[in-house]
Amino acid sequence: MAREIDGYLRSRFLPHIWCPGCGHGIILNAVLRAIARLDLDNDDVCVVSGIGCASRAPGYIDFNTVHTTHGRAIAFATGIKIAKPDLHVIVLTGDGDASAIGGNHLIHAARRNMGITVVCMNNSIYGMTSGQYSPMTPSGRYATTAPYGNIERNFDLCELVRACGANYVARATTAHARQLSTYIEHAIETPGFAFVEAPTQCPTYFGRKNKMGGPVEMIEWFKKNSVTMAAAAKLDPAELAGKIVIGELYRGNAPEYTELYAKVMERAKEAAGK
Binding positions for another protein, rule: CB under 8 A: 13, 42-44, 46, 48, 58-59, 62-69, 72, 75-84, 86-87, 104-105, 108, 261, 264-265, 267-269, 271-272
Helix (H) / strand (E) element for 48: namely strand 45-49
Q: Which residues contact 111 (CB under 8 A, 6 or more apart)?
A: 164, 165
Q: Between residues 188 and 227, which has the closer beta carbon with respect to another protein? A: 188
Peptide bond into 15 cis (omega under 30): yes
How far is the C-alpha of 116 from the C-alpha of 103, rounded, in Å?
16
Q: What are phi and psi of 14, to 5 degrees?
A: -90, 150
Q: Between residues 10 and 153, which has the closer beta carbon with respect to another protein? A: 10
Residue 12 Cβ vs another protein, minimum distance, rounded to whole Å: 9
Cβ atoms of 110 and 164 closer than 8 Å: yes
Q: Between residues 4 and 266, which has the closer beta carbon with respect to another protein? A: 266
Q: Between residues 17 and 229, which has the closer beta carbon with respect to another protein? A: 17
Residue 272 Cβ vs another protein, minimum distance, rounded to whole Å: 4
Residue 128 Cβ vs another protein, minimum distance, rounded to whole Å: 12
Residue 257 Cβ vs another protein, minimum distance, rounded to whole Å: 9
CA–CA distances in Å: residue 108 to residues 101, 153, 242: 13, 22, 28
* Residues forming beta bridges with residue 120, ordered by sequence position: 93, 197
Helix (H/G/I), strand (E/B), else coil: 20: coil
Residue 133 Cβ vs another protein, minimum distance, rounded to whole Å: 23
Residue 4 Cβ vs another protein, minimum distance, rounded to whole Å: 18
Cβ atoms of 125 and 132 closer than 8 Å: yes
CA angle 82–115–44, rounded 5-degree value: 75
